[in-house]
Amino acid sequence: MDLKQPAKDAARVLTSYLTYQAVKTVLNQLKETNPARAYWLNNFSTKEALQDGETYLSSLLKENVELAMRIMLVRQDIAEGICEFLPEMVITGIQQANIEHRRQHLERITQLGDGEHALESELPGDADVAQKPAIDSDCFPEQA
Amino acid sequence: MDLKQPAKDAARVLTSYLTYQAVKTVLNQLKETNPARAYWLNNFSTKEALQDGETYLSSLLKENVELAMRIMLVRQDIAEGICEFLPEMVITGIQQANIEHRRQHLERITQLGDGEHALESELPGDADVAQKPAIDSDCFPEQA
């Protein structure tokens, strides 16, 4: 699996998210010090505008240089402060989430196998499950 | 600035994005090997459903265990393959983007200062710019 493009895309998404975090941080600071400017920035920073961090900053630079420069500095600070921890947080997080999903699934099919707690109405009935290996019980959705 | 919560939030966003990447990868594989199942998975994986990777996987586990397990494995592979490179990619990327934004801004205000290329109709006129330090020329939007 070629991972160059996924890595670039993930970096782009993360950068846009850090830009959003920086906007949120500056907004919270402005609410204390300059509510009128906070109001203006809040209106400028719609969800659509923040989808792409670089386009957002380009537009903001044309409207308010000071705020744009401040957000650029804050997002760099946040990036330098958190990025080194992200790989372990994400990889460990995914491993643990995967284990938890498997555990919940096993618990569900075991309960179904007992014939006492058929929690999932959309799954095949108990008799059906009993005739097949548990892991395959809901493998195959209707073919479209 | 407390960065614990931003780090957690960024890890969550990145995890959801890697889940989306994994779904895209599995979809592309299925298009070759099992178009009917690719069609089903594509319908199941709406943009809304993919907003939260864990909720998406929980739902998919109840509909199609095999596909859910496969996506969980693929996202772990992608995470382990790209996460170590992300901190440098993101930090360097942000530094370079910030430099580029500043360069473009300087170029714009220099051109405006020339009085020859007033590219930005929304910026103050040339005379206005000439009377103030360039960096402040468009700092203050109308106070709302």
Structure confidence by residue, pLDDT tens digits, A34-74: 999 999 999 999 888 888 999 999 999 999 999 999 999 99
What's the pLDDT score for residue A49? 85
At B126, the amino acid letter reads D
Query: Residue B33: is its pLDDT beyond 70?
Result: yes
DSSP per-residue letters across A49-93: GGGSHHHHHHHHHHH-HHHHHHHHHHHHHHHHHHGGGHHHHHHHH
Q: What percent of chain A has pLDDT over 90?
A: 68
The Cα of A35 is separated from the nearest Cα of chain B by a number of Å equal to: 9
Question: A91 touching B, CB under 8 A?
Answer: yes
B-interface mutation test, from A8, A14, A103, most B Cβ less than 10 A away: A14
Question: pLDDT-based confidence at B115, cuts 50/70/90?
Answer: low
pTM of the model as a whole: 0.74
**Mean pLDDT across chain A, nearest whole number?**
83
* Radius of gyration for the alpha carbons in chain B, expressed in angstroms and rounded: 24
Q: B-chain residues within 8 Å CB-CB of A123?
A: 62
What's the pLDDT score for residue B1? 76
What ipTM score was computed for the predicted complex, to two decimals?
0.74
Among A49-53, A97-101, B21-25, where is mean pLDDT lowest? A49-53
Question: pLDDT-based confidence at B139, cuts 50/70/90?
Answer: very low
Q: Which of B10, B139, B144 sits opposite A86 (nearest CB)?
A: B10
CA neighbor of B54 nearest in space, from A102, A90, A101, A103: A101
Q: A-chain residues within 8 Å CB-CB of B9?
A: 17, 21
| Vertex B8 angle, CA B49 and A99, to 5° | 60
Chain A window 51-70: which residues touch B at a Cβ cutoff of 8 Å?
A: 53-54, 57-58, 61-66, 68-69
At A50, the amino acid letter reads L
